Amino acid sequence: MNTPSPRPPAGAHEPARNPGGWRLRMYTVIFEADTRAGRLFDLVLVALILASATVVVLDSVASVHDRHGALLTALEWFFTVAFTVEYIARLVCVRHPLRYARSAFGIIDLVALLPTYIAVFVPGLHALIDVRLLRLLRLFRILKLGAYVTEFGLLGRALVASRRKILVFMVFVLMVVTIMGTLMYVVEGPENGYTSIPVGVYWAITTMTTVGFGDITPKTDLGRVIASTMMLLGWGTLAVPTGIVSAEFTAQRFGRSPTTRTCHECLSEGHLPSARFCRDCGAPLPPWQHDATLADPSTPGQRPG
Helical spans, DSSP H, in the chain: 9-12, 21-31, 36-60, 62-93, 97-102, 104-111, 114-121, 137-142, 146-161, 163-188, 197-208, 221-253, 288-298
Provide, rounded to whole angstroms, the least separation between the CB of residue 255 and its own copies.
3
- Number of residues in contact with its own copies, rule: CB under 8 A? 121
**Amino acid of residue 265:** E
- C-beta of 94 vs 159, nearer to its own copies: 159
Collect all residues with Cβ–Cβ distance below 8 Å to 99 and sequence separation of at least 6. Answer: 7, 11, 12
Neighbouring C-beta atoms of residue 246, cutoff 10 Å: 12
Collect all residues with Cβ–Cβ distance below 8 Å to 187 and sequence separation of at least 6. Answer: 218, 220, 222, 223, 226
- Are the CB atoms for 108 and 137 separated by under 8 Å? yes
Please select the residue that binds its own copies; options are 35, 47, 60, 102, rule is CB under 8 A: 60
Per CB under 8 A, 217 contacts its own copies: yes
Provide, rounded to whole angstroms, the least separation between the CB of residue 227 and its own copies.
7
CA 74, distance to chain mean position in Å, is 31
Interaction residues for its own copies, span 155-184 (CB under 8 A)? 155, 157-158, 160-165, 167-171, 173, 175, 178-179, 182-183
Per CB under 8 A, 143 contacts its own copies: no
Per CB under 8 A, 269 contacts its own copies: yes
Collect all residues with Cβ–Cβ distance below 8 Å to 76 and sequence separation of at least 6. Answer: 52, 55, 56, 59, 116, 126, 129
Interaction residues for its own copies, span 236-265 (CB under 8 A)? 236, 238-256, 258-259
Please select the residue that binds its own copies; options are 85, 198, 284, 290, rule is CB under 8 A: 198
Per CB under 8 A, 44 contacts its own copies: no
Per CB under 8 A, 43 contacts its own copies: no
Per CB under 8 A, 145 contacts its own copies: yes
Provide, rounded to whole angstroms, the least separation between the CB of residue 23 and its own copies.
32
Please select the residue that binds its own copies; options are 81, 279, 284, 290, rule is CB under 8 A: 279
- C-beta of 12 vs 230, nearer to its own copies: 230
Please select the residue that binds its own copies; options are 128, 142, 220, 286, rule is CB under 8 A: 128
Q: How far apart are CA 118 and CA 115, in angstroms?
A: 5
Per CB under 8 A, 207 contacts its own copies: yes
Per CB under 8 A, 3 contacts its own copies: no
Q: What is the DSSP letter of 287?
A: P
Per CB under 8 A, 37 contacts its own copies: no
- Are the CB atoms for 57 and 134 separated by under 8 Å? no
Per CB under 8 A, 151 contacts its own copies: yes
Q: How far apart are CA 285 and CA 265, in angstroms?
A: 9
Provide, rounded to whole angstroms, the least separation between the CB of residue 107 and its own copies.
15
HSE at residue 83, side-chain half, CA atoms within 13 A, is 30
Burial state string for 127-161 with b = 16 or more CB within 10 A and e = fewer than 16: ebbbbbebbeebeebbeeeeeebbbebbbbbbbee
Provide, rounded to whole angstroms, the least separation between the CB of residue 111 and its own copies.
12
Provide, rounded to whole angstroms, the least separation between the CB of residue 166 and its own copies.
8
Which of the stretches 8-16, 24-32, 70-78, 207-215 binds its own copies when contact is defined by CB under 8 A?
A: 207-215
- C-beta of 42 vs 248, nearer to its own copies: 248
**Amino acid of residue 257:** S
Which of the stretches 29-37, 39-47, 70-78, 208-216 binds its own copies when contact is defined by CB under 8 A?
A: 208-216
